[in-house]
Amino acid sequence: MPRLKINESPCSAARALDILGDRWTLLLIREAVFGTHRFDDFAEHLGIARNVLSARLAMLVENGILEQEPVDSESRRYGYHLTPMGLDLLPVLVSLMQWGDRWLQTPASVPLQIVERKTGEKIPDMRPSNKAGKALAFKDLDWMPGPGADDPRIAALVAAYESQRSTVPRPVPSAPSIISAADRPSTNGRVIKRRQTSRL
């Protein structure tokens, strides 16, 4: 079930970054993915101050990404474990690691490789793709308003995107027709002109 604890921004990336948008948070998730569960181990592996660690772990529990469970069936000690919501961050973590491998390492300095367990083969770099599995580059994508696009804070983003794209001819998408909101004020009072048959 979706959690809606945080925040006011309608954008999914902004909401995600309200949870994940600092260095330590995603590194804590990386540690959890690699099997770290105990407070002392997080502190030791990351060299993070204990008060900062304590606050970050509490925030991740609060937001449903980690939960506290017994370390093992025989133990009374509790450790932090990824919830399904936390495990579902795998695509974010993997694409972040792969970008770092491509741009922030030399071939000789890449420290970890992600392989398919069954075959031992290195997995390919993640890219957006279509349903047929064809990789899509930036120029192959369009951004269209979704059901929640009526928010004026999204409208400003969409308007910027439309004005950038307006000089480039694009085919009419076969997707269902998108919201045809009338012109409406943006957050700063400017009126954003929107075409009734808007194609992003």
Q: Interacting stretch for its own copies, rule CB under 8 A, among 10-18, 54-62, 73-81?
A: 10-18
DSSP state of 168: S
184 in helix, strand or coil?
strand
Q: Answer whether 42's CB lies under 8 Å from 66's CB.
A: no
User: Exactly one of 100, 180, 183, 195 binds its own copies (CB under 8 A); which one?
Assistant: 100
Sketch the per residue contact string, 139 through 178, with its own copies: x for CB under 8 A, - otherwise: xxxxxxxxxxx-x--x-xxx-xx-xxx----xxxxxx---
Segment holding 81, helix H or strand E: strand 78-82
Residue 161 and residue 140: Cα distance in Å, rounded? 15
Binders in 43-82 for its own copies, by CB under 8 A: 44-45, 47, 64
Question: Mask of contacts with its own copies, 103-142, x by CB under 8 A?
Answer: xxxxxxxxxxxxxxxxxxxxxxxxxxxxx-x--xxxxxxx
- Answer for which of 95, 152, 181, 198 binds its own copies (CB under 8 A) is 95
Residue span binding its own copies (CB under 8 A) among the ranges 54-62, 73-81, 88-96: 88-96
Cα separation, 19 vs 14, whole angstroms: 9
- By beta-carbon proximity to its own copies, the closer residue of 53 and 149 is 149
Are 94 and 126 a contacting pair, CB within 8 Å?
Answer: yes
Q: Are strands 184-185 and 78-82 parallel, antiparallel or unpaired?
A: unpaired
Number of residues that bind its own copies (CB under 8 A): 111
Q: Which of 40, 62, 69, 88 binds its own copies (CB under 8 A)?
A: 88
Residue with tokens 């959890």: 32
Among 53, 59, 85, 181, binds its own copies (CB under 8 A): 85
